[in-house]
């Protein structure tokens, strides 16, 4: 039944996904609720939900625009399932924000197949990946996809191989400048960028509170 329902693009599919997403988000937030709920917490939770909605519509746009699926809505359905498998994402603003930037990067990489404005697309994709890595360090591994795309689509131009490094330099300069504006010169390490070897951020939490 689910397969037949999402086999085509229908308005009801979007409505069902949004209802299920809101339900999961609401139930999970109730599970985490405590008496010390502040206005900042509310704004953070609203931001997470808005970014999740943006991720869904962006993923659906990428899928349909580039014909990655046969004009169906399986992409957003699977995205919802993965979120339900790792509900801790629903309370992690940095992870959701990092995901949005990765989707923007993948959109530019997929569009490389047209071979139009390839240099701009390589730079943009690298830029978004490095921005994503600021919020979640291991997102930087997606830069491998950039070099793979260069090999398949525009590897003959040596300038294209330099673009990811130029993009990294631009992001690094912006990061340092933002850090200096937000913190004093001796507190740059307090900025959002953080390298961690903790692989348990996405532990499979139970929906039912013990």
Higher pLDDT, 92 or 199: 92
Residue 69 has which token pair?
Answer: 């699926």
How many CB atoms within 10 Å of residue 26? 12
pLDDT at 30 over 60: yes
The structural domains of the chain, with segments of one domain joined by +, span 1-91, 93-210
| Most confident option among 1-15, 48-62, 73-87 | 48-62
Reported as a single tens digit per residue, the pLDDT across 125-172 is: 999 999 999 998 889 999 999 999 988 877 677 888 999 999 999 999
SS3 65: helix
Task: State the pLDDT confidence band at 74, using cuts at 50, 70 and 90.
Answer: confident
pLDDT at 209 over 80: no
Residue 175 has which token pair?
Answer: 């990061």
Q: Which of 83, 84, 63 is nearest to 9 (CA)?
A: 63
Secondary element (H or E) of residue 192: none
Residues in CB range of 73: below 8 A, 6 or more apart = 6, 8, 9, 10, 13, 14, 17, 60
Task: State the pLDDT confidence band at 73, using cuts at 50, 70 and 90.
Answer: confident
Residue 113 has which token pair?
Answer: 């197949």
SS3 207: coil
pLDDT at 186 over 50: no
SS3 46: helix
Alpha-carbon gap, residue 101 to 104, rounded angstroms = 5
Q: What is the DSSP letter of 43?
A: H
């Amino acid at each position: 039944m689910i397969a037949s329902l999402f086999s085509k693009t229908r308005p009801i599919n979007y409505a069902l996904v949004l209802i299920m997403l809101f339900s999961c988000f609401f139930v999970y937030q109730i599970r985490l609720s405590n008496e010390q709920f502040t206005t900042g917490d509310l704004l953070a939770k609203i931001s997470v939900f808005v970014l999740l909605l943006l991720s869904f519509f962006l993923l659906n746009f990428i899928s349909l625009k580039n014909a990655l699926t046969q004009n169906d809505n399986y992409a957003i359905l699977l995205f919802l399932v993965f979120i339900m498998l790792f509900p801790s994402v629903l309370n992690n603003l940095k992870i959701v924000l990092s995901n949005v930037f990765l989707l923007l990067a993948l959109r530019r990489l997929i569009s490389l197949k047209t071979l139009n404005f390839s240099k701009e697309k390589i730079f943009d994709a690298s830029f978004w990946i490095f921005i994503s890595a600021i919020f979640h360090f291991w997102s930087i591994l997606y830069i491998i996809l950039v070099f793979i795309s260069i090999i398949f689509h525009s590897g003959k131009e040596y300038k294209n191989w330099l673009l990811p490094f130029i993009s990294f330099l631009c992001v690094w300069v912006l990061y340092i400048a933002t850090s200096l504006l937000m913190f004093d010169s001796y507190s740059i390490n307090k900025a959002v960028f953080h390298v961690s070897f903790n692989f348990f951020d996405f532990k499979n939490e139970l929906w039912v509170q013990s």
